């Protein structure tokens, strides 16, 4: 293991393709998931909301895959929307239907979509985990929509020894790849306080403008941030390639 290793933090089950690509290219990395996802059973009333919705919005890949394990895609008749490209791809693969998503892969982007402008009187269901930003719901409600959440999964922090991980990582890791703001913040809460400046000195591969902004609030210099186009494996590999060429 070299001092130029990548730290990959994607949840278990979501990193297989990325790790296989890294192995194929002979890249050195450490893999440590920090958060696990667990399916939440859909209630009968929630299934009814999904079936009767005028529009369905999925906020993450886990929101899609957790619902996929519980429902037949044919029961979802409403137009499908996704917050990001990767989520849209997974949703389209499951349903075989068109999925619209914004260029700005945040709540702000969803609210700016043409299909979200005239929603007065519509029933809109947002499929997500146990928490998240309220901006999308509030914005749609202000436009007259009736908005409900369906929680198809929840996230659980994995119990880890932050001091032991810091001792290992500081000798080896030069770049950290994270695909959610929650995971990024989890790193700062997991490591001891004396490890926070070390975290800020690493390069970071992030996947959205919102994560970029959150990284700055954590004290990570803008010069240390590499922004991938999105969270799919090809975009992440492109960002890793950019880091390898430009920062090592």
pLDDT in tens, 21-71: 999 999 999 999 999 889 999 999 999 999 999 999 999 889 999 999 999
Residue bearing the bigger pLDDT, 106 or 117: 117
Please, which residues have CB within 8 angstroms of residue 143's CB and are 6 or more apart in sequence?
116, 117, 118, 119, 120
Identify the CA nearest to 99 among candidates 137, 57, 54: 57
Does the pLDDT at position 79 exceed 70?
yes
pLDDT band at 127 (very low <50, low <70, confident <90, very high): very high
| Predicted local confidence at residue 3, as pLDDT | 60
Over residues 178-188, the mean pLDDT reads 93
Instruction: Give the strand pairing for 80-82 and 55-58.
Output: parallel
In the DSSP assignment, the letter for residue 116 is G
Set out the domains of the chain in order of their start, with CATH numbers: 5-34+159-247 (3.40.50.10090), 37-155 (3.40.50.10090)
Report if pTM > 0.95.
Answer: no
Instruction: Give the strand pairing for 29-31 and 5-8.
Output: parallel
| Predicted local confidence at residue 231, as pLDDT | 81
| Predicted local confidence at residue 1, as pLDDT | 45
Residue 75 CA to residue 60 CA, distance in Å, equals 20
């Amino acid at each position: 293991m070299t001092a130029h290793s990548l730290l990959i933090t994607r949840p278990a089950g979501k990193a297989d393709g990325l790790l296989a690509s890294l192995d194929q290219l002979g890249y050195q990395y450490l893999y440590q998931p920090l958060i696990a996802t667990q399916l939440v059973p859909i209630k009968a009333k929630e299934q009814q909301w999904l079936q009767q919705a005028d529009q369905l919005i999925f906020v993450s890949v886990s929101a899609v895959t957790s619902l996929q394990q519980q429902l037949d895609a044919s029961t979802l008749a409403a137009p499908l929307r996704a917050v990001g490209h990767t989520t849209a791809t997974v949703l389209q693969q499951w349903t075989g239907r068109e999925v619209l998503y914004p260029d700005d892969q945040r709540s702000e982007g969803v609210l700016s979509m043409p299909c979200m402008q005239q929603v007065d009187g519509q029933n809109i269901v947002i499929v997500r985990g146990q928490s998240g930003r309220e901006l999308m719901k509030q914005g749609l409600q202000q436009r007259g929509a009736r908005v409900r959440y369906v929680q198809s999964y929840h996230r659980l922090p994995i119990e880890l020894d932050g001091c032991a991980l810091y001792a290992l990582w500081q000798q080896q890791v030069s770049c950290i790849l994270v695909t959610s703001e929650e995971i990024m913040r989890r790193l700062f809460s997991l490591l001891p306080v004396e490890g926070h400046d070390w975290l800020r000195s690493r390069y970071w591969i992030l996947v959205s403008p919102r994560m970029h902004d959150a990284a700055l609030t954590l004290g990570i210099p803008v010069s240390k941030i590499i922004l991938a186009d999105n969270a799919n494996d090809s975009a992440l590999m492109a960002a890793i390639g950019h880091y390898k060429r430009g920062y090592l």
